Structure 1
Amino acid sequence: MKRSVLSKLRQILDKVASAHCLEQLEATLILQDSQTSYWKRGADEATLQDFDTLEVFLSCLDTLFCEERTIPIKVKLYDIHVLYVLEASATIRLYNSQGHLISQQACGRGMYYYLPPGHYSLKIPAGKSQLFGYYFRSKTFRKKNEKPYIFLHSLLRARRAQLPEVVVSRDFKVGRRTRMYIHALCRGLKKRKLKNESFVFGIIHDLIDLSAEKISEEETKMSYDLKIAIQARKLLAMHIEEKGQETQINLLSDDLKLDLDTVNRYHKQHFGKCLRELRTELLVTRAQNLLASGMSPTETAYELNYSSLDAFGRFFKKYSKQTASAYIQTLLTDQ
């Protein structure tokens, strides 16, 4: 397969003769029979391994940088790309030629890309990083066999139409089985061996199947987590309407048959705030609605089960940045 991605390491590093020229970096994932180049400038070091077959082009980039570096990338052909971040101290970020962020990948995550021809840049964090990837032609998938791979449909359509916009899949976990397949693939590579083509293609298909499995698992889990978080919001709002400030968030544990830490984690994951913050927000909103309905501050304090008008007044002013009377006056002025 023709090389369609050029990593312009020469712009940030100098090519050296062999691995012996590298002082600290040692590649831990070896692509057998690959074309390997070694790079160094000052304390920064890198190793790039490439292996091509008829349908797939494989690469592994190991880097050791003293600070974040940007590697220019040139894409020459329309292909589907896969990138696995096997090791990194921070997220790997890909930008287009205008400097707009395309994606962020954390360590232990994978992602599929449709990249039209053009110039890109890859930001690699300081420390040790290891990126493994491959790209393949869209004809690998026929109309009949692509149906199960829903996460790839938009990328395949973009590739077949040769759209000018980048399309990416959602990211997915690179787990133990995925790493085992990658290592098995790299160990079994043999240059110019016909049987090796079917071996490579077989494992690539296994990796794609694993990607589909991981994405499905995470989407299912996310759907469950989100459902619980939404139920928690609705239940807490109902409790506050009934009990006012006497509402305790631990009621949700009994309502949902889950421990409170789990419910709290799900809610913060999807809504960006803990349940205690939500309780305060809902209580303020309930108080404002009661005041807006015509209730006096005293009546509102009673309705929300505060022990005194002063206790309600302190709470309302703390979170609304104005007294209850001033809030009523604001409503009247707006009318």
Structure 2
Amino acid sequence: MKRTYTLQLDGTYIPVSEPVHPLSYTVRHAESLYWESGKNVIYEQTFDGRFAYLYYYECWIQEKDTIPIAIDMPDIHLLYTLQCDGCIAAWQAETDFAFDLIEGKGAYYYFAAGRYHLQLPKGHHILIGFILDAGMIRPPANRNFKFLSPLIDSKRMKDTTSKKSPDVRVGAVTLKFLQLLFSKINPYILDNEYILLKHLTFLINLSRFKMQDDSDAPHEHRQLIAKAREILALLILHQGAKAKLADVAQTLLVSGAHLNSLHQEYHGCAFQVYRNELMLDFIRDAMHEEEKFAATAEQTGFSGFSEMARFIRNHTGLTSKEFREQSKQT
């Protein structure tokens, strides 16, 4: 996607060739730029994908500064505040639109074209964002993303008023999958755009369960376990055998023991048993697409064929070949 914004750093910021501080997170194959102004340092990493533009800013600020940003074209952004010492105040010039960037929170934004300002307080800050292709979220899938409808409508109408979604919690699970995305980007392989889209789609789906207005209200038990099952299915689709029940619990801010107890109560089996059933279904579907067991194992997140074969035997009593033949018959 085209980059549609410009950092308008003043003349005191000088480009440098080598970072003064080590980056906290490295985006593989990203374009990198570094600037210094006195004791202030700003690092930029960007990657231009077909369906999204990824940007990463890490700042060490010794003297509070305000950074102007020009947005040339209206777009939808997903923006995470991964780290922030204090609060970054942001606003659009000559309008009433203003917002705060606070550590551990993210949000979707429709940014209208115009001039914006970020007021960086003293400290260490990390901002990660994506410019999204609004066409990714279309009917009927958009029914699950009603919180994005006002932003998508504004983008379509080229509204001059910026908008913001409810906040999204940004914790260890989100960071884990952001780092996974950073490590997978590789423009030198044919399926790079698919990989980027797959990981971005997962992050967007995950954000549905991390909306602040949802998470702050107490969950009714049946609703909670329904969400847990939905998140688990999403994790398995994205990671296969690497999907962890602990990530489900962390996403919902509850204990794994509590989820297991509720699953036993409402569905008559342990949550781990349900995970194993989902994994077996996932393997069955992959076997229909792949003839070789090694390819199936890779596609379903196992370290190799032997690990997948053990999983199948432990939970069905069948060999991989017998399991495949049984799957064909059903």
Whether the TM-score (by the shorter chain) exceeds 0.5 is yes
Asked whether 1:193 is paired with 2:189, we answer yes
Moved more, 6-15 or 42-51: 6-15
Which runs of at least 4 in structure 1 moved beyond 6 Å after TM superposition? none
CA 1:192 to 1:165, structure 2 compared with 1: closer, same or farther past 3 Å?
Answer: farther
| Alpha-carbon contact 1:105-1:171 (below 8 Å) kept | no
CA contact (8 A) 1:36 1:48 kept: yes
**Identity of matched residues, %:** 25
Residue 270 (structure 1) aligns with: none
Identify if the C-alpha distance between structure 1 residues 186 and 123 changes in structure 2 by more than 3 Å, giving closer, same or farther.
Answer: same
Please say if residues 18 and 37 of structure 1, whose CA atoms lie closer than 8 Å, have aligned partners that are also in contact. no
Judging changes above 3 Å, is the alpha-carbon distance between structure 1 residues 99 and 13 closer, same or farther for their aligned structure 2 residues? farther
Amino acid at match of 2:141: N
Judging changes above 3 Å, is the alpha-carbon distance between structure 1 residues 12 and 140 closer, same or farther for their aligned structure 2 residues? Answer: farther
How far is the alpha carbon of 1:224 from its aligned partner?
4.2
Q: How does 1:212-227 map to 2 (within 5 A)?
A: 212-215=208-211, 218-224=212-218
Equivalent residue letter for 2:213: E
Superposed CA RMSD: 1.7
> Matches of 2:214 and 2:155 in 1, distance apart?
28
SS in 2 for 1:157: helix
CA distance in 2, matches of 1:179, 1:167: 25
Deviation at 1:81, TM superposition (A): 0.5
Cα distance, 1:10 vs structure 2: 4.4
Shift, 1:44, TM fit? 0.9
Q: Does 1:13 align with 2:10?
A: no
Q: Which amino acid is the alignment partner of residue 86 of structure 2?
A: A
Task: Summarize the alignment of residues 57-72 of structure 1 with structure 2, pairs less than 5 Å apart.
Answer: 57-72=53-68
In the alignment, structure 1 residue 144 sits paired with structure 2 residue 137: no
Name the CA shift for 1:123/1:194 in 2 (closer, same or farther; >3 Å): farther
Q: Which amino acid aligns with 1:33?
A: H
Segments of 5+ residues of structure 2 without an aligned counterpart are: 220-330
Structure 1 contact 12–71 (Cα < 8 Å) conserved: no
Deviation at 1:204, TM superposition (A): 0.6
* Pairwise CA distance, 1:115: 0.6
Q: Are 2:102 and 1:91 equivalent residues in the alignment?
A: no
Q: Which residue of 1 aligns with 2:37?
A: 41
Give the direction of change, closer, same or farther, for the CA distance of 1:63–1:146 in structure 2 (3 Å limit).
same
Which residue identity is paired with 2:7? Answer: S
Looking at structure 2, the residues matched to 115 and 142 of structure 1 have their Cα atoms a distance apart, in angstroms, of 20
The alpha carbon displacement at 1:191 in A equals 2.2
Q: Work out whether 1:52 is the aligned partner of 2:48.
A: yes
Match of 1:304 in 2: none
Matched letter for residue 219 of structure 1:
D
Unaligned residue ranges in structure 1 (runs of 5+): 226-335
Q: Residue 164 of structure 2 corresponds to which residue in structure 1?
A: 168
- Structure 1 pair 108/222, CA: closer, same or farther in 2 (3 Å)? closer
Structure 1 17/96 Cα, relative in aligned 2: closer, same or farther at 3 Å? same
- Aligned length in residues: 219
C-alpha change, 1:212 and 1:99, in structure 2 (3 Å) is same
Tell me the residue number matched to 2:3.
Answer: 3
1:207 to 183, 186, 203: 203
- Residue in structure 2 matched with residue 27 of structure 1 by the alignment: 23
User: Structure 1 residue 128: deviation in Å?
Assistant: 0.8
* Partner AA of 2:29 in structure 1: D
1:159 offset after TM fit, Å?
Answer: 0.8
- Structure 2 Cα separation of the partners of residues 92 and 83 of structure 1: 13
> Is 2:89–2:120's contact at 8 Å kept on the other side of the alignment?
yes
Cα distance in 2 for partners of 1:11, 1:110 equals: 31
Alignment of 1:214-293 (within 5 A): 214-215=210-211, 218-224=212-218
Asked if the contact 2:5/2:71 (under 8 Å) is kept, the reply is yes
2:122 aligned residue: 126
Which has the greater radius of gyration? 1
- TM-score, normalization by structure 1: 0.62
Structure 1 residue 158, shift from structure 2 partner: 0.8
Once the two structures are TM-superposed, the CA of residue 213 in structure 1 deviates from its matched residue by: 0.7
Is this contact kept in 1: 2:97–2:162, CA < 8 A?
A: no
